[in-house]
Chains A and B, each alone.
Chain A
Amino acid sequence: MRGRLWNLALYLFILGFILNMIGIVSHVVVSAFAKRWFGNPLPPAFTTDWFSYAWKNFDLGQVLSVTLFVAVAVVVLSLLIAFPAAYILARRNFRFKSLLLLLYFLPMVIPQMTYGIPLATTLYRYGVGGSVLGVILAVMVPMVPLAVFILMPFFEQISVNLEGSAQVLGASRAQIFRRILFPLMIPGILTAGILILVNTISNFELAFLLGGGGSQTLVVALFYNMFAGGVRPVYSIDAMAVIYMVMVMALLLVALRFVRPTQMVFRLDR
């Protein structure tokens, strides 16, 4: 009996958390479609005008193209850099391996705000701060290690014997890579790619510290316009938030085809 009550309490808490989550998200959605909304359970009249208002006034075409460009560039570059490193870390043992893994681990656990300020200082000094390139370079700092840690187990699942056999049969390294490793790694590459994509689009701190006038990603633009509160109607900001939300949720749906939700957070047993 006591165990039953205990379980009920656990479920009720989770239910409460989920309801409050749904409430928070729905509020943004309802507000984006509201003509006016003050203190009633639902707005008296609905409209879709705020979306076109937001599109024009927030320069969303430009913001979205920057966001997508940054996201794609970060995914491609991070994968290119991380792929060979993950291969070696999965296949070989060498002296400083654990030290190297610790070094790759740090950018993932140290908060972005802590290393973002010195990083921004450095990048501004070299003249790339405030540009799209600066945003890409900064956001890649936590993403390259993320890609390494996602790709490693995928390499470990591929039998070493496959490479060995190919080598015996006279395949060169390039052939082994193109004909064996790459095709077998496609699920890993897709998983890493989609997770980096979601994380890049929702990345705030680094994109904020390095983004300037013409290089703001969608989240950063959202933040700035909320702060200009009073100038812009809140409904238009919520419309912009809905556009962002739809983007992230669509990507999340794709991501969850490859990974279980529990795999999207940090693995403690590493």
Chain B
Amino acid sequence: MRATTPRERSEFDVFAMLCILPSLLYVLCMFVYPFLYGLYLSLRPQKMAGFSLANYLTFFSDPYQYGTIWITFSLAVPCTIIVLVLSLVLAYGMRRGFFMERTVTTILILPISLGVILLSEGILGFYGSQGWFNQIVIALGLVSDPFILTHNYIGVTLALFMQQFPFCFLMLLGYISGIDPSLERSARMLGATPWVVFRRVMLPLIAPGLAIAFALVFVMSFAVFPSAMMLGQPSGSTRTISIAAYQQAFEQYDMSYASAIAVVMGLCQLAALVVIILFRRRLSPAATMGVGKR
């Protein structure tokens, strides 16, 4: 916290307004307005006049369309849980710093910065039937036929994992290393085993960060688009809801229907977030942000 001096005025004058205005206008015009416009458009189907729920009814009566919700969940949920559990275990184990930390974290930043397109291209080659991964497992005599890891569900999961794990691990690492170590020491001195320390002391402190990380990773995974196109079967087993929305907008040119799918997608993400928040309350009712922080 900064010390406040008497000089610091807390009123909101014309100068402050002028400073805030450009960015506020930008976010309102380019973020809030398109959302509202999309919602409005989704309620005005192209094929008829006036307002109606026809787009939504069409979406939920066509298995090819509403099936994308299930496909997307079946990709995002397992991936999010795996990423979160692994990140938690690793970040917790490495909370006191680790060997070559700077180098490791720098390498982990790479997949985030390079982006999903390059990752997908690399995965297509490396895990492909002729790639190094299959060459190694065949050379070791583990299998006789190559694993089929691309152009299916596994390929998309791989890409999601490669993208989300570093992101989630680094987030949790930053969060967990910020927890006051004296709390842990006190618990150890009072005779708690490492497991009890984790379960009774640390986990409740980590829970708020964990909930946010879970929410972020899930929402990002739910919008999976390019990797589902490149590494999956965009017309079959990995036709996610963003692919459905994209096809309506840019292949069928039905912006109204596309907006309806985007609204459904947003609502699914919102529903998931609400569930996570409720779950977090049950997990640690007393956890408030900032307790035990250095």
Which A residues are within 8 Å of any B CB, using their own CB? 3, 6-7, 10-11, 13-14, 17-18, 20-25, 27-28, 31, 38-39, 41, 80-82, 84-85, 87-89, 91-95, 100, 103-104, 106-107, 109-115, 117-124, 137-138, 140-141, 144-145, 148, 156, 160-161, 164, 173, 198, 202-205, 208-209, 219, 222-223, 226-227, 234, 237-238, 241, 244-245, 248-249, 252, 256, 260-269
Contact = CB atoms under 8 A, between A and B. Distances in A.
B106 to A, nearest CB: 5
The A interface, classified by DSSP as helix, strand, loop or mixed, is: helix
A250 B219 CA distance: 30
A10 B90 contact: yes
Contacts of A81: 22-23, 26
Which of A22, A110, A208, A227 has the most B CB atoms < 10 Å from its CB?
A: A110
A206 B289 CA distance: 33
22 contacts: A7-B93, A14-B90, A21-B111, A23-B126, A23-B132, A25-B122, A27-B125, A88-B20, A111-B223, A118-B41, A148-B23, A160-B7, A202-B115, A204-B115, A204-B226, A205-B225, A219-B118, A227-B229, A241-B118, A265-B170, A268-B212, A269-B174
Contacts of A24: 119, 122-123, 125-126, 162
A122 B34 CA distance: 6
Contacts of A112: 223
A213 B222 CA distance: 29
Interface in B238-271: 242, 245-246, 249-250, 255, 258-259, 261-262, 265-266, 269
Interface in B109-127: 109-119, 121-123, 125-126
Contact of A269 (B27, B121, B290): B290
A237 B125 CA distance: 12
> Which 8 interchain pairs have the tightest Cβ spacing?
A118-B38, A111-B223, A24-B122, A84-B19, A202-B115, A261-B105, A85-B23, A27-B125
Contacts of A268: 171-172, 174-175, 209, 212-213
A92 B105 CA distance: 35
A120 B249 contact: yes
A200 B129 CA distance: 33
Nearest to A89: B20
Interface in B261-293: 261-262, 265-266, 269, 289-290, 293
Nearest to A7: B93
A103 B22 CA distance: 14
A191 B229 CA distance: 34
Nearest to A220: B117
Contacts of B201: none
A227 B108 CA distance: 28
Interface stretch (B8-16, B49-57, B62-70, B184-192): B8-16
A118 B34 contact: yes
A152 to B, nearest CB: 12
Given A84-B22, A111-B223, A219-B115, A122 B37 contact: yes
Given A24-B162, A202-B114, A262 B105 contact: yes
A161 B99 CA distance: 42
B19 A121 contact: no
B94 A10 contact: yes
Contact of A114 (B110, B114, B269): B269
A194 to B, nearest CB: 11
A94 B9 CA distance: 10
B2 interface: yes
B249 A21 contact: no
Contacts of A241: 118, 121-122
A270 to B, nearest CB: 9
Contact of A106 (B31, B104, B162, B250): B31
